[in-house]
Amino acid sequence: RATGSLWRTRRGTRFARGFARESQRTPGTDSQGEMGEVKLPEDVKEQLEKFEAAVQEMEDGLTPLLSADRKEMEAALNPLERARVHIALANAVSTLYAMYIKTVGMDPADHGISRELERVDLYKGKVDKALKLGGPNTKLDVPAAERMINAAQGGKKKREANKDEAEDMIEEALENKKKGDKKKKKK
């Protein structure tokens, strides 16, 4: 039986069960669904080769991640490295899905996968920024360190010296005022 039996859905539409009808066969296949020789234009062949190369490159890059034990790998990584691994996996899955969308004739830019790829890129930027900043800032603020050292070593002496200077300045000012008052009285 070539078309199988028909069955009804709730809406009354009939579907064929069993083997696909001749009109429903995938182009380039024979009646048993086997692929035969398909003549493709040269530009399509080039695009297909690029696609296969990209998939192979992605598989090669993901092999170490996928072959390792996830729990052991995550235990060995610090949080930023773990985030990079998670982002790489999310990027790989999203890119593969975008490639699939393209192969079925849809534009990935019009699909939700484009927003997902943008979101992955956003998080990749955040992790890269965190990695660039590195750990704690180890740069020494020399003037602040000098102030702290001076304050710890001789802060009390300096305050006393400043107090003595202030007292001397007040005494000098008072003497100058007295001299000025005497000159005014003489006039």
**Same structural domain for residues 76 and 51?**
yes
Any domain includes 58? yes
Domain boundary among 133, 149, 172: 133
Any domain includes 86? yes
**Same structural domain for residues 154 and 123?**
no
Contact 108, 116 (CB under 8 A): no
What gap in Å lies between CA 55 and CA 97, rounded to an integer? Answer: 11
**Same structural domain for residues 161 and 129?**
no
Any domain includes 111? yes
What gap in Å lies between CA 99 and CA 152, rounded to an integer? Answer: 66
- The per-residue pLDDT for range 29-77, each reduced to its tens digit, is 556 656 567 788 888 889 889 888 988 888 888 888 788 888 888 888 8
State which residues form the domain around 74.
Answer: 41-133
- Please give the pLDDT value at position 17: 43
- Please give the pLDDT value at position 31: 60
What value, to the nearest 5°, has the Cα angle with vertex 175 and ends 173 and 180? 95
- Per the confidence metrics, is the pTM higher than 0.75? no
What gap in Å lies between CA 49 and CA 42, rounded to an integer? Answer: 11
What gap in Å lies between CA 133 and CA 139, rounded to an integer? Answer: 13
**Same structural domain for residues 47 and 127?**
yes
**Which sign does the torsion angle of CA 155, 157, 162, 166 carry?**
positive
Any domain includes 19? no
**Which sign does the torsion angle of CA 143, 144, 148, 154 carry?**
positive
- Residues 2-10: what's their mean pLDDT? 44
- The per-residue pLDDT for range 107-158, each reduced to its tens digit, is 989 999 999 999 999 999 999 888 888 666 566 677 777 777 777 776 655 5
Any domain includes 1? no
Any domain includes 23? no
- The per-residue pLDDT for range 117-128, each reduced to its tens digit, is 999 999 999 998
- Please give the pLDDT value at position 26: 54
